[in-house]
C-alpha cells in the first residue's frame, strides 16, 4: 500500500513538471497525511524532490549549462505557501513586472500582498515577503488579471507608454485578454481603460 501511494504521489509530481513547488497539503485531499509525509520523505532521500523550507518542496529543474539544480521558483513558492495556509495573495507592482518579464531590474526579493499574516522566508538566496493588506482587487478571479493590474499600477497612470502596453500585450493570447477584460470591470478606471485598449486591439487583430 505504501509503495502504491508513493507511486501515485510521484506520478502527480511528474505530471506538474520540473520546477513545481508544493507542500503536503497539495496531496492530503486524496491521501492520509502520514502516508503523504512518508512518500515525500522517501522521494527527498532519493533526490527526486528537494526540501526548500520546512514542509515545502520542489521538483527541481536541472541546468545542463551549469551542471547543477537551479534555484527554486520563488513565484511558485509563494503560490504553494498560499495554498498551504489558505491565503489570498497578490504580487506587488515590482514583483508583477519582474514575473511578466517587463522589468530589467535584478531583484533580491519578491513581495506579495496577502490576507494572511506578514511573514518573510529565505528561498534560494532570495527573500519572499508576504505583507498583510486589503486590496480593492481582492475579487479578481484570474492570476493573469492580478498580474496585469499590479503591473500597470506599478508603472503609474502618467508613466504608461505605448511601448509598455505593447510589451504587456504579448504576455497573454487574445482570448486570455478578453477574460482579463471581463474580470477587471471594477478596478480603477484608468487601469481598466488600458486593459480594454489592449484586449480590443488584439481582438481586432491589429
The model's pLDDT over 2-52, given as tens digits with 9 standing for 90+, comes to 678 889 999 999 999 999 999 999 999 889 999 999 999 999 999 999 999
Stretch 79-88: mean pLDDT: 95
Q: CA geometry: angle at 22 spanning 20 and 23, to 5°?
A: 165
CA distance 196 to 185: 10
CA distance 2 to 38: 8
Q: CA geometry: angle at 72 spanning 145 and 67, to 5°?
A: 130
Torsion of CA 36, 40, 41, 44, to 10 degrees: 180
Give the model confidence (pLDDT) of 106-115 as tens digits: 778 999 999 9
The 3-state secondary structure of 57-118 reads EECCCEECCCCEECCCCHHHHHHHHHHHHCCCEEECHHHHHHHCCCCCCCCCEEEEEECCCC
The pLDDT score that the predictor gives to residue 2 is 62
| 126 or 206: which leads in pLDDT | 126
Share of the chain above pLDDT 90, in %: 79
The pLDDT score that the predictor gives to residue 137 is 61
| 69 or 138: which leads in pLDDT | 69
Give the model confidence (pLDDT) of 157-197 as tens digits: 999 999 999 999 999 999 999 999 999 998 999 999 999 99
Nearest to 165 by CA among 198, 187, 130, 127: 198
| 128 three-class SS | strand
The pLDDT score that the predictor gives to residue 105 is 78
The pLDDT score that the predictor gives to residue 81 is 97
Helical axes 143-155 vs 174-183, angle rounded to 10° = 80
**pLDDT of 136 above 80:** no
Contact 39, 9 (CB under 8 A): yes
Domains in the chain, please, with CATH?
A: 2-69 (1.10.10.10), 74-134 (no CATH), 137-203 (no CATH)
**pLDDT of 204 above 70:** no
Share of the chain above pLDDT 70, in %: 96
- What cell does 149 get? 493590474
Name the helix (H) or strand (E) containing 56: strand 56-58
Task: Give the chain's mean pLDDT.
Answer: 92
Under the banding of pLDDT at 50, 70 and 90, the label for residue 118 is very high
Give 55's contacts (C-beta < 8 A, 6+ positions apart): 23, 24, 84
The pLDDT score that the predictor gives to residue 103 is 87
The pLDDT score that the predictor gives to residue 1 is 52
Amino acid at each position: 500500500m505504501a509503495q502504491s501511494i508513493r507511486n501515485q504521489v510521484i506520478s502527480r509530481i511528474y505530471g506538474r513538471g520540473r520546477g513545481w513547488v508544493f507542500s503536503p497539503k497539495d496531496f492530503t485531499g486524496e491521501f492520509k497525511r502520514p502516508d503523504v509525509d512518508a512518500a515525500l520523505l522517501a522521494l527527498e532521500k532519493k533526490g527526486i524532490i528537494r526540501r526548500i523550507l520546512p514542509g515545502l518542496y520542489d521538483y527541481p529543474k536541472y541546468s545542463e549549462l551549469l551542471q547543477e539544480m537551479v534555484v527554486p521558483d520563488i513565484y511558485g513558492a509563494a503560490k504553494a505557501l498560499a495554498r498551504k495556509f489558505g491565503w489570498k495573495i497578490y504580487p506587488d507592482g515590482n514583483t508583477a513586472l519582474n514575473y511578466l518579464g517587463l522589468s530589467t531590474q535584478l531583484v533580491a526579493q519578491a513581495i506579495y500582498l496577502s490576507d494572511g499574516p506578514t511573514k518573510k522566508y529565505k528561498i534560494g538566496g532570495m527573500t519572499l515577503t508576504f505583507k498583510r493588506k486589503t486590496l480593492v482587487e481582492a475579487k479578481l478571479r484570474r492570476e493573469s488579471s492580478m498580474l496585469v493590474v499590479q503591473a500597470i499600477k506599478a508603472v503609474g497612470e502618467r508613466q504608461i507608454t505605448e511601448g509598455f502596453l505593447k510589451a504587456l500585450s504579448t504576455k497573454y493570447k487574445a482570448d486570455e485578454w478578453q477574460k482579463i477584460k471581463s474580470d477587471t470591470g471594477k478596478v480603477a478606471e484608468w487601469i481598466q481603460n488600458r486593459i480594454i485598449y489592449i484586449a480590443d486591439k488584439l481582438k481586432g487583430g491589429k
